[in-house]
Amino acid sequence: MTTTLADLARERCARGAKALHEAEIQQLIALLPGWESAGLEIVKTCRFANYHETIAFVNAVAWIAHREDHHPDLSVHYNRCQVAWSTHDAGGLTRNDFICAAKIETLLAN
């Protein structure tokens, strides 16, 4: 069964998720435009017109993170925000990281 970005965005994060193998990481990162695998995290820099839009995005990401009980590292600037997902408890990337990234992609598309 092939997973799409929309399928991934509809999933919910699971407690106790296990680290993914490199083949799984490559399959999932291919679904996420602009995201890069960087060691033990996936990262994307999102650009906006101004500070207000950047902070609105940060607040939306915070809501997603709270709802999924999975929290990214954020680097916030005037017109951009870098988002980095990783699952420290699993010692690497889990499906939860990709689920949350897919939810952000859905947010950005709207």
- pLDDT 10s digits, 19-73: 999 999 999 999 999 999 998 999 999 999 999 999 999 999 999 999 999 999 9
Cβ–Cβ contacts within 10 Å for residue 17, how many?
Answer: 17
The top-level CATH class assigned to 5-9+17-109 is alpha beta
Q: Is the pTM of this model over 0.85?
A: yes
Instruction: Judge contact between 42 and 98, C-beta under 8 A.
Output: yes
In 3D, which of 41, 71, 55, 80 has the Cα closest to residue 32?
41
